[in-house]
Amino acid sequence: MSSAPAEEIPAEEIDLSEANHIIDKYLTLPGNLMPVLQGIQDSYGFVPRPTIDLVAERLNVYPSQIYGVLTFYSQFHMKPRGRYIIRVCVGTACHVQGAERIVDTFFGRLGIGHAETSADLRYTFEKVACLGACGMAPLAMVNDDTFGKMTVQKVDEIVETYNQRPM
Partner 1 sequence: MVNLTIDDKQVTVPRDATIYDAAKACGVKIPILCHDKKLHPFGGCRMCLVEVEQMKGRLIPSCTTPATEGMIVKTMTDEIVKARKLVLELLLLKHPIDCPVCDAAGDCDLQNLTYEYKVNSNRFTDEKFNHAIDYDNPLIERDMNRCIHCGKCARICDEIVAFGAYTFINRGIEAKMGTEFDGPLNCEFCGSCVSVCPVGALNSRPFKFKARWWALTKTKSVCSYCGTGCQLTLGSKDGKVLTTIYDENQGFHNGQLCTRGRFGYQFINSDKRLTSPLIRKNGKLQPASWEEALEMVTSRLRAGKSDPASVAALATARLTNEELFLFEKLFRGTVGTDNIDHSAGFAHEALTVGAKASFGVAASPSVIADVQKANLLLVVKTDAYETHPVIGFEINLGVKRKGIDLRIVSDKKGKLSRLPGAKTLVHTPGAETALFNALCRSVIDQGLAVEDAAGLAELKKALTDATPEKAAAVCGLSAAEITALAKDFASAEKALIILPIGLGYPGHGSALASAAANLAILTGKIGKEGCGLLIMGEKNNSQGAVDLGIYPKSTGLSAQAIIEACALGNVKTLFVAGENPVVSYPNRAKVEKALDQVEFMVVSDLFLTETAQLADVVLPACSFAEKSGTFTSLGRRVQMVRQAIKPLALAKSDFEILNAINSALGGGSFANQGAVFAEIAASVPAYQGLTQAGLGDEGAVLPVAIAAKLVPVAGEAQPTFAGKLALVTGSALYHNGTMSRFGEGPMYVCPDGYAELCVADAALLKIAEGDLVTVTSGAGSVSLAAKVGKRVPQGVVFAPYHFGEGSINTITDGSAVTWVTVGKK
Among the listed ranges 3-11, 23-31, 44-52, 134-142, the one in contact with ligand FES (CB under 6 A) is 134-142
Q: Which is nearer to partner 1, 73 or 145 (CB)?
A: 73
Partner interacting with residue 93 (select from ligand FES, partner 1, none; CB below 5-8 Å by kind)? ligand FES
Q: Residue 91 corresponds to which amino acid?
A: G
Q: Which does 139 bind (CB under 5 to 8 A by kind): partner 1, ligand FES, none?
A: ligand FES
**Sites for ligand FES among residues 73-112 (CB under 6 A):** 89, 91-94
Handedness of CA 166, 110, 85, 38 (dihedral sign): negative
- Establish if 67 lies at the interface with partner 1 (CB under 8 A): yes
Our CB check for partner 1 shows the closer of 38 and 151 to be: 38
Residue 79 found at the interface with partner 1 (CB under 8 A) = no
Q: Which residues contact 10 (CB under 8 A, 6 or more apart)?
A: none
What is residue 67's three-state secondary structure? helix
Which of 77, 9, 63, 3 is closest to 33 using CA atoms? 63
**Binding partner of 68, given ligand FES, partner 1, none, CB within 5-8 angstroms per partner class:** partner 1
Going by C-alpha positions, the residue among 167, 156, 165, 77 that lies closest to residue 119 is: 167
Is residue 140 within 8 A of residue 102, CB to CB? The reply is yes
Contact footprint for ligand FES (CB under 6 A): 89, 91-94, 130-134, 137, 139
